[in-house]
Amino acid sequence: MRRRGVRGSWARKTAVPSKRGKSRKVPVPFPWDSRSDSNRKRIEENYRHLRAEVVQSGLARNRPTPALVQGWHARSLDGIRLAEPWVAGHYRGEGPSGSQLRDALVHVGGRLGEPPAHVRQRVRGMFEELDRRIDGLDARVSVGEGLNTLYPDVLQLCAWAHGEWIRIHPFVDHNGSTARLLALMLGLRYGVPLNLPGKPRPPTPSFGLALSYNVAAENQMMGDDTVMVSYLDRLARASAAQHRGQGV
């Protein structure tokens, strides 16, 4: 993902000792130093803890909200020095006047994410539609409909939510990671385990017709959720087969 102003654009500076014992200012790249091994390891650890909590939340049939996903994003950056403090848990288009977050543009696979000024409205509309879809599935569950008939619609829900989130790209980064947590939580709400990639996600295969997460997500950026549905179906079936093999 490319972000406007990543190269040659700096914000908060941190003092470090110079050779002469005096402090010198080292700029922090926007939104944070993604090349830092310590940052990468800390973020991966943060997501491992978040994933465990999301699993429990899904099993408890909790309903995702915008505030919940914003909290995931903020906590994923615990311990990370940021160029701007409001990067954590805030959408593009937010932040004080003159901040880089307020005007941040993102390009994903050559496609532009939602303009910053429209992000909050698009997120609100997405969750209104998500609530409507969850209500529909919950009504079917309440009258005794089982997973055998709900299954394809649960996959559609998870794929749609993941796709909408990455198409909007609300955050300056970590949109795919939070989208995967969202899909994981929704699947477990209805008894469909989805062993989606954590952080970092695996690289796209360099050859062959592999059905990978990255390929499915790239198709979603073009408005096509069907490949992601197939990918999620494969994950769910693999998980079910593993449980059968373990006698679960």
- Structure confidence at residue 199 (pLDDT): 86
What is the C-alpha to C-alpha distance for residues 198 and 222, in angstroms, rounded to an integer? Answer: 23
For 159-206, the three-class secondary structure string (H helix, E strand, C coil) is HHHHHHHHHHCCCCCCHHHHHHHHHHHHHHHCCCCCCCCCCCCCCCCC
pLDDT tens digits, 125-168: 999 999 999 999 999 999 999 999 999 999 999 999 999 999 99
d(CA 41, CA 35): 11
Instruction: Tell me which residue of 230, 205, 203 sits closest to 216, measured CA to CA.
Output: 230
Q: What is the pLDDT of residue 17?
A: 42
Specify the range with the lowest mean pLDDT, choosing from 3-17, 71-85, 124-138: 3-17
In the chain, domain spans: 36-245
Q: Is 206 exposed, middle or buried (0-12, 13-18, 19+ CB in 10 A)?
A: exposed
Work out whether the CA dihedral 103, 114, 124, 85 comes out positive or negative. Answer: negative
Looking at domain 36-245, its CATH class is: mainly alpha
Give the pLDDT confidence of 170-193 residue by residue, as tens digits: 999 999 999 999 999 999 999 999
So what's the pLDDT on residue 111?
87
The residue that leads in pLDDT, 241 or 34, is 34
Q: Can you give the pLDDT at residue 87?
A: 98
- For position 217, what pLDDT does the model report? 94
Query: Would you place residue 24 in the very low, low, confident or very high pLDDT band (cuts 50, 70, 90)?
Result: low
What pLDDT does 12 receive?
Answer: 44
- Tokens representing 132 are 């409507």
